[in-house]
């Protein structure tokens, strides 16, 4: 059930009315039921996996809190990790692993690696698995108490605004808000509506239209010119950003509507002035997850320079493979790991570059240049296709004529992005008078209706 | 959440859809503009129905791609010596086509020819493969409402709301692979090869059960109402099943390994009889060899000529 579907609109309307009319103690039940209905909207059978994950981690949390013996606690932790990662591995990587050892048809698996294939993987599996893992690890580390109410815990796992594609919530962010929701106010509701509307605009108008430009370019890499492929890669990264951040923004709006402030997932990453800032501003909740549960346990920044570089590359490769079982995703992660490790080493040896006129613009251009190869490999269906794209880009194959629609889209995207960073506040509607509110909402509605392309599934739903 | 704020915002969004488009729809220039879209779109069909002047003894051809592609309207007009207006819409089931009923009532044609593809009378839902927020959902809703309601103001307002949505879909339809000049598109100029045909037959196989038209459905109800309203203005509604590739006809389907096609034809004839529409069957339209088909459900140029000629003979 997509946020942009009429069926979701119906579910949302019913949930809003029910939450509004029901007594406070029934609110969690209603939200939980709505979340399960929302998830069943894709394929009811996947609810079973969600329930297994919920039951296992609820039980693990309760047992971990009671158990004092270290070996037993460790066994409980690894038991929970085993079940969750086992399910994740089976649905996302099993065929790939079989193909690697020659027990599965490679062609079939390779076809599934393509980023736009949306097949037999339970929607949002990686997101809710990582969320429940963070809970169990936090209880194991005694950073968070085990949750007593199974309803509260089930709602934490399945809370529909962020169930399918994050932001990944920590227990410490969710349960205090559930226990003491903020009082309803007009300003808060306006902010929620604005977030949802802006997110919808990003998804339906920006991302889906960019997809229309990118798809023909990458449909046959060998027929597209090098310049078109390079431009297409940049547009694609804009598409992924608008798609994913659009979803996250809608999720934050919906969360706010039901009294839960979800964390931001993006902080204008396409305007980052260097690789480190880019890393900090892209998919922030997932980056934080990898930092806390993988990078730090590996030794983090405390080890020697080579070990730190290795840790960074391990984390980024895992981050890449988290997107799916495919060499393209692994290559994307490894490449970004190398960039991050090299940048850190540069800073360690030489310090930050001195200030000069135009430094932010130069840093931004450098970052875009470094990002380009990773966007090509992420968009390509295979490493071979990425290889063809690189070759054509580097040799300026197919001439130097510019696909102007793409150029205009890119400039427009950049201009709006920059304007939003410099001028836009997320609670603007709350501070406007009625005429301006009506004008803004009317404008957004028209933009979505008139210029929204045919809706595609959210890119990140498949991860 | 703050209930009044939410209600106010919802009202603004609904108002944004309804009021301006109500004004647009009531302005005649809108229909000229819509009629300028590519043939085979809702925009062009409704624009043509509303913008061009009434013509005596006119035949209006409605239906999905089988009406747009298979019927050559100028050739039919020449054979009948009557004006023919093609208002077919690619991929539109009958429940969506039914939204033209008010426009037809205003236009008062003498004959309305509805060419139906094998699943057009049953299917009335957005294609699941296209996922959500599809303007067709709005079309279906508007079409159903227009038929169900005699409340002119509300129907016009909802129709107006769909004007904006329809514009959006026009952009998408123009990007359809069959693009400009449907009949001249390479896809419809040559016979489909055996491999291509086998693949498409596989695609159709699980859908044949729908084509047997068991039970009631929104498209059939919509057609019944549309037919009744056309009769009320003195227009004759004619139901024409589109020709199908012989191998598709020979496929087993419809459940339990039984042949689906006789059941399909029988039900189409029953629907025509029950709704007071005239029915043209194989006896009037003849049979079509494999070389007349560009795919299992659409004709090549030669097939289009043969089918149009058969229609002309039957109507004369």
A-B contacts (CB, under 8 Å): 82
Name the residue with higher pLDDT: B39 or B306.
B306
- CB contacts, 8 Å: A6 with chain B: 132-133, 137
A118 and A212 housed in the same domain: no
State which residues form the domain around A26: 6-185
Length of chain A in terms of residues written? 463
A125 and A251 housed in the same domain: no
Main-chain phi, psi angles of B112, to 5 degrees? -120, 115
Q: For B56-79, what is each residue's pLDDT tens digit?
A: 899 999 998 888 888 988 899 999
A281 and A360 housed in the same domain: yes
Contact B132 A441 (CB under 8 A): no
What is the pLDDT averaged over residues A200-218? 83
What is the pLDDT averaged over residues A173-195? 89
Contact A452 B168 (CB under 8 A): yes
Domain count, chain A: 2
A119 and A204 housed in the same domain: no
Q: Shortest Cα distance from B24 to chain A (angstroms)? A: 14
Looking at the predicted structure, is the pLDDT value of residue B284 above 80? yes
**Between β-strands B298-299 and B293-295, what pairing exists: parallel, antiparallel or unpaired?**
antiparallel
Of A138, A168, A185, which residue sits at a domain end? A185
Would you state the pLDDT for residue A138? Answer: 94
Domain count, chain B: 1
CA distance readout (Å), A124 to A110, A120, A130, B194: 21, 12, 10, 41
A172 and A197 housed in the same domain: no
Contact A19 B130 (CB under 8 A): no
Would you state the pLDDT for residue A356? Answer: 87
Q: Whose CA is closest to A410, among A246, A239, A243?
A: A239
SS3 state at B87? coil
Q: For A2-47, what is each residue's pLDDT tens digit?
A: 776 767 888 898 999 999 888 888 999 999 999 999 999 878 888 9
Looking at the predicted structure, is the pLDDT value of residue B106 above 60? yes
Looking at the predicted structure, is the pLDDT value of residue A151 above 90? yes
Q: B114 - beta bridge partners? A: B62, B239
- CB contacts, 8 Å: B3 with chain A: 20, 184
- Interface of B to A at Cβ within 8 Å reads 1-6, 9, 12-13, 15-17, 130-134, 137, 164-165, 167-168, 172, 175
A229 and A355 housed in the same domain: yes
Work out the pLDDT band at B175, boundaries 50, 70, 90.
very low
Q: What is the CA angle B235-B238-B243, rounded to 5?
A: 155
Q: A246 - beta bridge partners? A: none
Q: What is the CA angle B218-B223-B224, rounded to 5?
A: 100
A93 and A10 housed in the same domain: yes
What is the pLDDT averaged over residues B295-305? 87
Length of chain B in terms of residues written? 316
A180 and A261 housed in the same domain: no
Would you state the pLDDT for residue A253? Answer: 93
Contact B168 A450 (CB under 8 A): yes
Q: What is the C-alpha to C-alpha distance for residues A400 and A147, in angstroms, rounded to an integer?
A: 61
Looking at the predicted structure, is the pLDDT value of residue A448 above 70? yes
Residue A225 lies in a domain: yes
Tokens representing B155 are 């129907």
**Is A144 a known active-site residue?**
no
Of A159, A185, A211, which residue sits at a domain end? A185
Q: What is the C-alpha to C-alpha distance for residues A167 and A237, in angstroms, rounded to an integer?
A: 19
What is the pLDDT averaged over residues B191-211? 75
A437 and A325 housed in the same domain: yes
Of A133, A150, A185, which residue sits at a domain end? A185
Q: For B237-269, what is each residue's pLDDT tens digit?
A: 999 999 999 988 887 754 555 678 888 888 889
Would you state the pLDDT for residue B168? Answer: 44
Long-range CB contacts for residues A185-189, cutoff 8 Å, separation at least 24: A185/B2, A186/A430, A186/B2, A186/B4, A186/B5, A187/A427, A187/A430, A188/A256, A188/A430, A188/B1, A188/B2, A189/A257, A189/B1, A189/B2, A189/B5, A189/B6, A189/B9
B161 in Cβ contact with B17 (< 8 Å): yes
Q: What is the dihedral of CA B223, B225, B227, B229, to 10 degrees?
A: -150
Residue A1 lies in a domain: no
Nearest to A5 among B16, B133, B168 (CB): B133
Q: What is the C-alpha to C-alpha distance for residues A210 and A232, in angstroms, rounded to an integer?
A: 9
**Cβ neighbour number for residue B123 with a 10 Å cutoff:** 23
Name the residue with higher pLDDT: B316 or B309.
B309
Q: Whose CA is closest to A451, among B169, B160, B31, B139?
A: B169
State which residues form the domain around B91: 3-315
A383 and A361 housed in the same domain: yes
Which residue on chain A is closest to B12 by alpha carbon? A438
Q: What is the C-alpha to C-alpha distance for residues B61 and B224, in angstroms, rounded to an integer?
A: 17
Q: Shortest Cα distance from B130 to chain A (angstroms)? A: 8
Nearest to B133 among A4, A16, A186 (CB): A4
A231 in Cβ contact with A375 (< 8 Å): no
Contact B168 A449 (CB under 8 A): yes
A240 and A119 housed in the same domain: no
Residue A60 lies in a domain: yes
Name the residue with higher pLDDT: A207 or B60.
B60
Please give the helix or strand (H or E) that residue B126 lies within, else none: none
What is this model's ipTM? Answer: 0.70
Tokens representing A198 are 């802006």
Question: CATH number for the domain including B64?
Answer: 3.40.50.1110
A223 and A155 housed in the same domain: no
Q: For B120-138, what is each residue's pLDDT tens digit?
A: 876 654 443 333 334 444 5
Lowest-pLDDT range, A191-200, A451-460, B1-10? A451-460
């Amino acid at each position: 059930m997509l946020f942009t579907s009429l069926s979701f609109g119906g579910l949302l309307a019913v949930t809003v009315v029910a939450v509004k009319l029901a007594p406070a103690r029934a609110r969690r039940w209603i939200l939980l039921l709505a979340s399960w209905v929302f998830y069943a909207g894709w394929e009811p059978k996947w609810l079973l996996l969600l329930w297994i994950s919920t039951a296992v981690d609820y039980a693990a949390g309760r047992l971990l809190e009671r158990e004092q013996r270290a070996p037993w606690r460790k066994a409980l932790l690894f038991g929970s990790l085993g079940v969750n990662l086992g399910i994740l591995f089976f649905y996302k990587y099993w065929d790939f692993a079989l193909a690697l050892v020659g027990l599965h048809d490679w062609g079939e698996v390779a076809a599934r690696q393509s980023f736009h294939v949306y097949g037999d993987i339970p929607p949002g599996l990686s997101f809710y698995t990582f969320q429940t893992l963070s809970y169990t690890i936090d209880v194991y580390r005694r950073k968070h108490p085990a949750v007593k109410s199974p309803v509260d815990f089930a709602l934490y796992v399945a809370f529909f605004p962020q169930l399918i594609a994050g932001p990944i919530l920590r227990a410490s962010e969710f349960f205090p808000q559930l226990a003491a929701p903020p009082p309803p106010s007009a300003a808060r509701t306006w902010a929620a509506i604005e977030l949802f509307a802006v997110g919808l605009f990003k998804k339906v108008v920006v991302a889906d239209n960019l997809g229309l430009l990118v798809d023909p370019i990458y449909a046959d890499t060998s027929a597209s010119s090098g310049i078109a492929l390079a431009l297409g890669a940049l547009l694609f990264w804009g598409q992924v950003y608008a798609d994913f951040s659009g979803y996250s923004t809608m999720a934050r709006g919906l969360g706010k509507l039901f009294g839960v402030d979800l964390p931001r997932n993006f902080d204008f990453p396409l305007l980052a002035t260097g690789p480190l800032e880019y890393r900090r501003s892209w998919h922030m909740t997932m980056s934080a997850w990898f930092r806390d549960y993988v990078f730090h346990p590996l030794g983090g920044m405390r080890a020697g320079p080579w070990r730190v570089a290795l840790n960074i590359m391990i984390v980024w490769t895992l981050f890449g493979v988290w997107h799916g079982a495919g060499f393209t995703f692994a290559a994307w992660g490894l490449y970004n790991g190398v960039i991050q490790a090299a940048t850190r080493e540069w800073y360690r040896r030489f310090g930050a570059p001195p200030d000069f006129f135009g430094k932010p613009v130069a840093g931004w251009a450098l970052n875009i240049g470094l990002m380009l190869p990773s966007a090509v490999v992420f968009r390509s269906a295979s490493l071979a296709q990425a290889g063809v794209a690189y070759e054509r880009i580097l040799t300026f194959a197919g001439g130097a004529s510019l696909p102007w629609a793409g150029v205009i889209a890119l400039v427009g995207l950049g201009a709006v992005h920059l304007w939003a960073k410099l001028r836009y506040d997320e609670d603007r509607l709350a501070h406007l008078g009625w005429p301006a509110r009506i004008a803004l909402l009317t404008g957004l509605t028209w933009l979505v209706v008139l210029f929204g392309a045919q809706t595609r599934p959210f890119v990140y739903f498949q991860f | 959440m703050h209930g009044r704020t939410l209600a106010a915002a919802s009202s603004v969004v609904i108002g944004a859809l309804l009021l301006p488009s109500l004004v647009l729809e009531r302005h005649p220039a809108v229909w000229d503009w819509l009629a300028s879209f590519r043939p085979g779109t809702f925009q062009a069909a409704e624009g043509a129905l509303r913008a061009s002047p009434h013509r005596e003894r006119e035949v209006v051809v409605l239906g999905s791609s089988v009406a747009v592609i298979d019927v050559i309207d100028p050739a039919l007009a020449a054979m009948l010596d009557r004006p023919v207006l093609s208002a077919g819409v690619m991929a539109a089931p009958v429940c969506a086509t039914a939204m033209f009923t008010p426009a037809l009532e205003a236009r008062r044609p003498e004959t309305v020819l509805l060419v139906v593809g094998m699943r057009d009378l049953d299917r009335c839902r957005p294609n699941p493969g296209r996922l959500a927020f599809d303007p067709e959902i709005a079309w279906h809703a508007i079409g159903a409402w227009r038929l169900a309601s005699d409340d002119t103001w509300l129907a016009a307002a909802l129709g107006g709301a769909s004007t904006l949505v329809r514009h959006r879909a026009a952009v998408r339809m123009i990007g359809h692979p069959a693009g400009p000049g449907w009949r001249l598109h390479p896809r419809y100029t040559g016979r489909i090869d055996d491999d291509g045909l086998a693949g498409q037959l596989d695609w159709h196989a699980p859908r044949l059960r729908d084509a047997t038209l068991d039970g009631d459905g929104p498209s059939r109800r919509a057609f019944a109402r549309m037919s009744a309203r056309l009769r009320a203005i003195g227009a004759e509604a004619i139901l024409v099943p589109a020709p199908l590739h012989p191998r598709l006809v020979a496929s087993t389907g419809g459940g339990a390994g039984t042949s689906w096609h006789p059941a399909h034809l029988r039900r189409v004839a029953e629907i025509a009889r029950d709704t007071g529409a005239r029915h043209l069957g194989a006896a009037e339209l003849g049979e079509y060899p494999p070389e007349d088909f560009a795919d299992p459900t659409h004709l090549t140029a030669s097939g289009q000529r043969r089918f149009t000629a058969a229609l002309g003979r039957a109507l004369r």
